[in-house]
Amino acid sequence: MKFEVIPAIDLLQGKCVRLKQGNYGSETIYSAEPLEVAKRWVDAGAKRLHVVDLDGAKTGIAANIEIIKAIIKEVSVPIQIGGGVRNFNLISDLLKFGADRVILGTTAIKNPNLLGNVCEKFGEKIAVAIDAKGNFAAVEGWMYVSKKDTLTLAKEAIGLGVKRFVFTDISRDGMLEGPNIDSIKKFMDAVKVPVIASGGVSTKEDVEKLKEIGAEGCVVGKALYDGKLKLEEII
């Protein structure tokens, strides 16, 4: 299994931004042209992109769909999409349009019936985001925390047919402090399905550590946008 380094493209009001620890008041705008950013990462060697609709994550209404569709259409690598994808029709539409994978977060926790249905219909095309705030999962743009702990939720999701997770330690997201290797490893050992790690990846060593513990890949955001990491060097 080849480890994937996956650049993140976070969309807020049509722009490419990064937040700190998911805080909507802490945005840094990196580009008003997300499609150009997507092409730049692909030109630099990215084999997959991680695109998140932050407006959708917060409100539950997908707000950047036209940009997402333009990215899917214009770039030559698989795209995984998350943020505000909370109904069957939108999941189906994104996959028909050419998204490689749809990542469900809030839906996976609040609507297990839908999760079971889409796993049955789309199989490996569905992944679940577990966004950990301590031992609990945060939902709705990370504004609320679930009452169930992350491992309970993950095991319930596997029972419904989920075969892959994107695991984020919110305390590390956008902080350039390195990933929480212990919590990622604990999660991976418990779920025993492929896990993509996210949050805090900021050095080549971070990437190597995640490879060593057996992660399927990692999502990298702020470190790339701030120039602390060069994609060519870590792919």
* Single pTM value for the model: 0.94
Residues 6+ apart with CB under 8 A from 165: 127, 128, 129, 130, 154, 157, 187, 191, 193, 194, 195, 196
The string of pLDDT tens digits covering residues 155-170 is 999 999 999 999 988 7
H helices of the chain, in order, are 34-43, 54-59, 65-74, 88-97, 106-110, 112-122, 150-159, 181-191, 204-212, 222-225, 231-234
Catalytic annotation present for 182: no
Average pLDDT estimate for 57-67: 91
pLDDT for 174 = 58
pLDDT for 95 = 98
- Pick the catalytic residue from 131, 169, 173, 206: 131
Our CA angle for 180, 182, 187, nearest 5°, is 100
Longest Cα separation, the chain:
42
Q: How confident is the model at residue 97 (pLDDT cuts 50, 70, 90)?
A: very high
Average pLDDT estimate for 213-220: 97
User: CA 127 from chain center: how many Å?
Assistant: 9
pLDDT for 19 = 84
Backbone angles phi, psi at 105, to 5 degrees: -120, -80
Rounded-to-integer distance, Cα 163 and Cα 160, Å: 9
pLDDT for 133 = 80
pLDDT(141) > 60: no
Mean of per-residue pLDDT scores for the chain: 92
Hunting for tokens 């490996």 — which residue is that? 124
pLDDT(116) > 80: yes
- Pick the catalytic residue from 10, 55, 169, 173: 10
Count the neighbouring beta carbons within 10 Å of the beta carbon of residue 73. 11
Domains of the chain: 4-234 (3.20.20.70)
Catalytic annotation present for 43: no
- SS3 for 147? strand
